[in-house]
């Protein structure tokens, strides 16, 4: 993000980007599918300078993070359930 007026917001954006990249390693369609799309999504908002819009973007990214985590949990739960129900 270029010219973010608030360094704390910049730190938050970088942190959520890194967290999403980390989650993308286990994405069902693969990291090579996930990373370019994540990068494109963040670059589409790189021109934001209004602090409120940046905060909304951070909240949206946190929502996506929770959705991905829920997807992983559900996948793990189903795998474990199959393992124990099938035995």
Q: Buried b / exposed e across 71-86, counting CB within 10 Å, b at 16+?
A: eeeeeeeeeeeeeeee
- The verdict on residue 2 lying in a domain is no
Please, which residues have CB within 8 angstroms of residue 1's CB and are 6 or more apart in sequence?
10, 13, 42, 45, 46, 48, 54
- The verdict on residue 1 lying in a domain is no
pTM passes above 0.85: no
Number of domains in the chain: 1
- The verdict on residue 79 lying in a domain is yes
Q: For 9-41, how does the pLDDT look when each residue is reduced to its tens digit (9 = 90+)?
A: 999 999 999 999 999 998 888 899 999 999 999
Domain encompassing residue 56: 7-85
Dihedral of alpha carbons 56, 3, 35, 11, sign: negative
Mean pLDDT confidence for 52-60: 96
């Amino acid at each position: 993000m270029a010219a973010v007026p608030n360094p704390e917001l910049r730190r938050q954006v970088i942190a959520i980007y890194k967290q999403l990249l980390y989650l993308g390693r286990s994405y069902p369609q693969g990291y090579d599918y996930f990373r370019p799309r994540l990068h494109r999504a963040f670059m589409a908002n790189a021109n934001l300078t209004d602090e409120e819009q940046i905060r909304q973007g951070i909240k949206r990214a946190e929502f996506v993070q929770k959705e991905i985590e829920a997807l992983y949990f559900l996948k793990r739960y189903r795998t474990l359930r199959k393992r124990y129900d099938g035995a």
